[in-house]
A and B are shown apart, each in its own frame.
Chain A
Amino acid sequence: DAGVIQSPRHEVTEMGQEVTLRCKPISGHDYLFWYRQTMMRGLELLIYFNNNVPIDDSGMPEDRFSAKMPNASFSTLKIQPSEPRDSAVYFCASNNRGHYNEQFFGPGTRLTVL
């Protein structure tokens, strides 16, 4: 079974541009999580969905960030406009029946905003 799939794996863009990160969770998983990892702040949860519905987006840093999950097999994280401080590795993770089950992480998207 394929794991969590993220695309692109690397993204380099210029400040002010729109960036869209994509995630395909493991089939059958009903929770999807978006994380951001930086050296300064470690691993931060941005938002998570349950059955395609956003449950908690309190970790989203500001209005420039938005996330959607139009169906059970696809989610996007969009940054518009992007800024250099958004440079980080963004992980998508999914799991089944939530809270006390381990999360399966995607390979991450390394974003560089120049």
Chain B
Amino acid sequence: AQKITQTQPGMFVQEKEAVTLDCTYDTSDPSYGLFWYKQPSSGEMIFLIYQGSYDQQNATEGRYSLNFQKARKSANLVISASQLGDSAMYFCAMVGAGGSYIPTFGRGTSLIVHP
């Protein structure tokens, strides 16, 4: 079985500052994938970043980076230089053989960026 835990229901950050959204996971699979999605108030789910369990380096995509600590089973999303448009729900998800490759999503973290 696999599980995703996002312990922060809500986060606040000042515009232009960096923010870290936490995600821990539980799996016994040696191979798995970790994803982050953004859901703005308009409702659509937008893919942000992916990290494979065997990737040697932390994934980065523009202002998004994934702080992957395999031993701690954490895959935190770091957003640098926050913008007002970053205000949204953020979901962490994983895929692995133990879950029959069915994506498991966390409950999400609501991020509000203040001007």
Binding site for B on A (CB under 8 A): 33, 42-43, 45, 48, 56, 59, 89, 91, 93, 98-100, 102-108, 110
Asked if B105 CB lies within 8 Å of chain A CBs, one says yes
A65-B91 Cα distance, complex, nearest whole Å: 26
A104-B46 Cα distance, complex, nearest whole Å: 7
Q: Is the beta-carbon distance between B44 and A105 smaller than 8 angstroms?
A: yes
Please report the total number of B residues contacting A with Cβ < 8 Å.
20
Q: Is the beta-carbon distance between A103 and B103 smaller than 8 angstroms?
A: yes
Partner of B50, one of A59, A89, A102, A107: A102
CB distance from B84 to the nearest CB of A (A): 22
30 contacts between A and B (CB under 8 A): A42-B105, A42-B106, A42-B108, A43-B91, A43-B108, A45-B102, A56-B100, A56-B102, A59-B102, A89-B43, A99-B33, A99-B95, A99-B101, A100-B33, A100-B95, A102-B35, A102-B47, A102-B50, A103-B35, A103-B45, A103-B103, A105-B44, A105-B45, A105-B47, A107-B43, A107-B44, A108-B43, A108-B44, A108-B45, A110-B43
CB distance from B100 to the nearest CB of A (A): 6
